[in-house]
Amino acid sequence: MKMLIGGKPVDGLDGSLLNIINPATSQVIDTVPNASREDVDRAVVIARKAQKQWARVPVYQRAEILKTFLSLVDQEKENLAQLLMSETGKPIYEARNEIANIPVAFNAFIEKAKHLYGDMIPNGLEAGQEKNLQFTQREPLGVIVCILPFNFPVDMFDHKVAPSLLAGNAVIVKPPHQNPLTVCRVAELLIKAGVGDGVIQVVTGEGPKTGSALVSHPGIDKITFTGSTAVGIEIAKAAAANLAHVSLELGGNDAFIVHEDADLDLVANEMTWGRMYNCGQICCASKRFLVHHQVKDKLLAKVIENVNALVLGSPEDENTQVACLISEEAAKKVEAQIKKTVEQGGKIVLGGKRTGAYLQPTILVDVPKDADVAKDMEIFGPVIPIIGFDTLEEAVEIANSSMYGLGSCIFSSNMKTTMNVASQLECGLVVINGSSSYRSFEMPFGGYKKSGIGNEGVLSTFYAVTRLKTVVLKNIFD
């Protein structure tokens, strides 16, 4: 598959390619260009010119074009889901869910775009301003680079691209190098729907080569990135050299707190699906399970029963609930993290075996509160490490000991207890009596500490992809 520059499928100028591998079969399913700095230069020049024209298109017309895009997506939804499944390794039902989110997201952003009003400051609110009228309006930033993660590439395309286009920006998408194919197809449909040549472009390639060229380019006005904290910090450094805006949604090690009065059947269900969906490869999935000692054994039995009931298998099997990770390398990393947790005192009571990119759902108990996983080691896989506690004060202390602060959750039958704990947790999202693996398109999503900068969602993204201008009508009143 080719990348998209200037509205057309193109090869890279230096001819280098990346193999796209189906992680479930280890078979090469396609290739994409590994774009060079020269490819990036070309895309940026085209984007800057195209953005000026796109910004003059009225919002209602941009909305109509995106609605045409949604009709094209509807016609292609099964093909898109099959492609996403094959390059990502997620079960087909999960792939269909992700494609089904496209109209949910785009329609929500379309509605918001039509109500992005400015403010008016009437005359006479302060001395000396009796004759003057001031009002504000939001204008596009310019050219926005959207760097997408492998775990939910289409969902993040929705979050970043829809509001950016509706606000009048041009967008250059850098999809994940492991699985860029579905993103390329979706972008093709936007072009087919009428988004102008160069307004939406896709530049494929690896982070150190293509990504670095994009984030350091002086022609970029904003970078919005979802990925690891280490890479996010490097992006922030590169953006600072050009004073480019950044939105960074980074790593997480969410705490899942279970008080002694919690509904254990609810807890077990939320723990199971919240950790095993997408094979545990979710930034806001709970990754540290803090359970009151009084209910730990009883809950463990329920969770083991739930996990054992999951259907493991090939992504293409309609019954599969847990498939493989994004790559064998990713599975090996999780395997090593399990081993390290065992070395630090944890005990495997279920799973732990790896075959290629497949890793058995794993449950560890007796994990010490000073183990790496209890603080800053983010396990991006189907692993449930259980850490016991005696008091809620101790649980909050463990939860807040991490450098991350993306999300968390608290389970208790007492709402006063949950709200008190929620107020003490240092993170951007707290879910009460539900897994932290929660994200609606409407909500502002973002973390504290080293989990990122800024928020994404219908409520907040437009303010991040526009700039505020104040217009003054001086001496307009007698």
CA atoms within 13 A on the CB side of 318: 0
Active site residue 270: no
Which amino acid makes up residue 68? T
298 burial via Cβ count (<10 Å: 0-12, 13-18, 19+): exposed
Q: Cα(9)–Cα(202) distance, rounded to whole angstroms?
A: 9
Collapsing DSSP to helix, strand or coil, 344 comes out as coil
Catalytic one among 249, 270, 328, 456? Answer: 249
| Residue (of 206, 142, 209) closest to 180 by Cα position | 206
Q: Say if residues 121 and 134 touch (Cβ distance below 8 Å).
A: yes
Whole-angstrom distance, CA of residue 124 vs CA of residue 251:
48
Which tokens belong to 432?
A: 């009460």
Choose the catalytic residue: 146, 184, 283, 284.
283
Would you say 91 and 85 are in contact if contact means Cβ atoms under 8 Å apart? yes
Long-range pairs for 361-369: beta carbons < 8 A, 24 or more residues apart: 361/276, 361/307, 361/310, 361/312, 361/322, 362/338, 363/300, 363/303, 363/304, 363/307, 364/338, 365/296, 365/300, 367/341, 368/344, 369/394, 369/398
The answer to whether residues 94 and 278 touch, using CB atoms and an 8 Å cutoff, is: yes
Is-contact 18 32, C-beta < 8 A? Answer: yes
Structure tokens at 211: 């990504």
Give CA–CA dist 240/225, Å, rounded: 15
Query: Pseudo-torsion of CA 443, 186, 163, 61, nearest 10°?
Result: -130
Nearest by Cα to 315 from 303, 304, 329, 326: 326
Annotation marks residue 283 as catalytic: yes
Which residues does the annotation mark as catalytic? Answer: 249, 283
